[in-house]
Amino acid sequence: MLDFKELSKDGNDFELLVRELLFSMGFKVYWSGKGTDGGKDLLCVETPVSSILSIEKRWLVQCKHNAHANKAVSTSDLDEIVDSCSQYEATGYLLVCSTYPSSKLVDRLDGITRNKRNNVSATYWDSVSLERMLSTPKTWTIAQRFFPKSANEIGWKIYATESPNRWVVNFKGYYFHLSNRIGSYAELHLSSIKSRICDLESIKVPKKHKLRPRAVYYDDKNGVYTWYIDYMYPRGSKPKLSAYSIKKELGDGYALEDGQIYSFDVHVYDYLEISDHFDEDHYNYYQPYVRDFSLGFERKSR
286 and 160, same structural domain? yes
How far apart are the C-alpha atoms of 86 and 134, rounded to whole Å? 30
Least confident of 135-149, 225-239, 275-289: 135-149
Tell me the CATH number at 168.
3.30.70.1420
For residue 183, pLDDT beyond 60: yes
Q: Which of 132, 164, 196 is the last residue of a domain?
A: 132
pLDDT band at 138 (very low <50, low <70, confident <90, very high): confident
What is the predicted pLDDT for the residue at 129?
96
Q: Is 139 among the domain residues?
A: no
pLDDT tens track for 193-223? 999 999 999 999 999 999 999 999 999 999 9
Residues 222 and 286 placed together within one structural domain of the fold: yes
pLDDT for position 40: 63
Q: Specify if 149 maps to a domain.
A: no
181 and 102 in a common domain:
no
pLDDT at 139 over 90: no
Q: How much is the pLDDT for 109? A: 98
In this structure, what CATH number is given to the domain that contains residue 75?
3.40.1350.10
Looking at the fold, whether 169 and 74 belong to one and the same domain comes out as no
- For 55-83, what is the mean pLDDT? 95
- The larger pLDDT score, comparing residue 147 to residue 40, is at 147
* pLDDT of 137: 59
**What number of other Cβ atoms are within 10 A of residue 91's Cβ?**
15
Q: Which is it for strands 156-160 and 210-219: parallel, antiparallel or unpaired? A: unpaired
DSSP reduced 3-state for 74: coil
190: exposed, middle or buried (Cβ count in 10 Å: 0-12, 13-18, 19+):
buried
> Using one digit for the tens of pLDDT, what is the confidence trace for 238-292?
999 999 999 999 999 999 999 999 999 999 999 998 887 788 888 899 999 999 9
Q: Are residues 123 and 56 in the same domain?
A: yes
pLDDT at 302: 67
For the chain, what percent of residues have pLDDT higher than 70? 96
| pLDDT given at position 176 | 95
User: Is the predicted pLDDT of residue 12 greater than 60, yes or no?
Assistant: yes
Q: What is the average pLDDT value for the chain, to the nearest integer?
A: 91
| Strands across the sheet containing 40-46 | 28-34, 40-46, 57-64, 92-97, 121-125
- What does the angle CA 170 – CA 129 – CA 92 come to, to the nearest 5 degrees? 130
Q: Which residues contact 16 (CB under 8 A, 6 or more apart)?
A: 146
> Based on the domain organization, do 87 and 162 belong to the same domain?
no
Give residue 166's domain range.
155-295
At 51, the pLDDT band (50, 70, 90 cuts) reads confident
Percent of the chain exceeding pLDDT 90 equals: 71
Sign of CA dihedral 12, 3, 28, 159: positive
**28 is a domain residue:** yes
Query: Rounded to the nearest 5°, which phi and psi values hold at 137?
Result: -55, -35
Q: What is the CA radius of gyration of the chain?
A: 24
Q: Give residue 206's identity as a one-letter amino acid code.
A: P
**Between vectors from CA 92 to CA 24 and to CA 187, what angle results, nearest 5°?**
5
SS3 at position 177: strand
| One domain for residues 288 and 160 | yes
According to DSSP, residue 17 is labeled H
Question: Is residue 282 a part of any domain in this protein?
Answer: yes
Same domain, 172 and 94: no
pLDDT at residue 39, as a whole number: 52
Domain boundary among 132, 147, 169: 132
CA distance 193 to 216: 8
pLDDT tens digits, residue range 78-110? 989 999 999 999 999 999 999 999 999 999 999
Let me know whether 120 and 203 are in one domain.
Answer: no
Residue 283: predicted pLDDT: 87
Do the domain assignments include residue 254?
A: yes
Are the C-beta atoms of residues 149 and 7 closer than 8 Å to each other?
Answer: no
In a domain, residue 12? The reply is yes
pLDDT attached to residue 31: 87
pLDDT of residue 93: 97
Domain count, the chain: 2
Confidence of residue 155 (pLDDT cuts 50, 70, 90): confident
Q: Could you tell me if 225 and 192 lie in one domain?
A: yes
Q: Answer whether residue 162 shows pLDDT above 90.
A: no
Q: Are 16 and 6 in contact (CB under 8 A)?
A: no
- 207 with 168, same domain? yes
Helix (H) or strand (E) holding 179: strand 174-180
Shared domain check, 224 and 164: yes
With cut-offs at 50, 70 and 90, classify the pLDDT of residue 34: low
Neighbours of 32 (CB within 10 A): 17
Residue 209 lies in a domain: yes
Amino acid type, 276: D
> Is residue 76 situated within a structural domain?
yes
The pLDDT score that the predictor gives to residue 53 is: 84
At 78, the amino acid letter reads L
∠ CA(230), CA(235), CA(240), 5° rounding?
60
